[in-house]
Structure 1
């Protein structure tokens, strides 16, 4: 059995392995970031850190986010960093049998390396994403994460300086 979180994006069922998920949080509108990749919605505060939020619809299908009451943000691990993925709705955590997973090896019909496999279910096909390759090679996202890391380090430095000043 393989545990997956199944969710909807552009009305398609998608999944990620549960071990890649840190948390699912309710939707909150991110603060936009100027001059970044189209699929980066902006940032929110999460666990006292700045979390980039990605519009999964825009990344996968080129469409804009359509806000609704069931929207969630899935906080995932990517390249030792955390990212938020906006999704239309969460279906739930599902246990799939190994024989439900099918890999596509036909390069003519399948050239997206971020699709790990297809999961056959009674309600249709679920696309399992590979979060590690979903944003691979995206220079803007790498720069954004490095900038946020610098911001976190500056906040730590400011706290350290404040503590040092108070002790004198």
Structure 2
């Protein structure tokens, strides 16, 4: 059995392995960051650090996620750091049997590396996302991460500590 968090975006159900999830938190409007990809909504404070917030609807469908009382932020691990994914609805945490997973075959016409596998259920198909490739080769998000962790912050911390 594999435990997955299942959520909805644009009338499709997706999942992520539970071990990739840090926490699920309520939606809060982020502080916008100029000159980033449109799916980067901005930043929030989370556990004493700055957390980039990504609109999964913008990333996958080129349409914004509907924000209402059901909208949540899934704090996930991506490239050794945390990011927040805005999703419309968390449908639950589910256990799936390994026979329910159908891996993406390279012979198929699906060229999206961020689709890890399809999970077959009695009434639909859930797309399991691969977090490490979901934002691969996105220069704007990589640049944003470098700016957050960049030397300017280290230098500022050293200056404050010296005072």
TM-score (norm 1): 0.90
Number of residue-to-residue matches in the alignment: 162
CA contact (8 A) 2:6 2:13 kept: yes
Say which one has the larger Rg: 1
Report how far residue 49 of structure 1 moved. Answer: 0.7
| 3-state SS of paired residue (1:83) | strand
Report how far residue 107 of structure 1 moved. Answer: 3.8
Report how far residue 50 of structure 1 moved. Answer: 0.6
Report how far residue 158 of structure 1 moved. Answer: 4.9
Report how far residue 110 of structure 1 moved. Answer: 1.1
CA contact (8 A) 1:5 1:16 kept: yes
- Match of 2:87? 87
Q: Deviations over 1:108-153 (max 9, x none)?
A: 5311110000001123110000001000111111110111113653
CA contact (8 A) 2:9 2:65 kept: no
- Match of 2:138? 138
- Match of 1:3? 3
**Equivalents in 2 of 1:62, 1:21: separation in Å?**
24
Report how far residue 160 of structure 1 moved. Answer: 1.6
**Equivalents in 2 of 1:20, 1:154: separation in Å?**
31
CA contact (8 A) 1:49 1:152 kept: no
**Any stretches of 5+ residues in structure 1 without a counterpart?**
none
Aligned in 2, Cα 1:99/1:45: closer, same or farther, shift over 3 Å? same
- 1-10 or 106-115, which moves further after superposition? 106-115
Task: Write out aligned runs for 1:143-162 (5 A).
Answer: 143-150=143-150, 152-154=153-155, 156-161=157-162
Report how far residue 90 of structure 1 moved. Answer: 0.5
Q: Deviations over 1:51-95 (max 9, x none)?
A: 000000010011012111111100111111111000001111111
- Match of 2:104? 104
**Equivalents in 2 of 1:56, 1:129: separation in Å?**
11
CA contact (8 A) 2:104 2:115 kept: no
4+ long deviations beyond 4 Å: none
- Match of 1:42? 42
CA contact (8 A) 1:14 1:129 kept: yes
- Measured on the aligned residues, the alpha-carbon RMSD in Å equals 1.5
- Match of 1:25? 25
**Equivalents in 1 of 2:157, 2:95: separation in Å?**
41
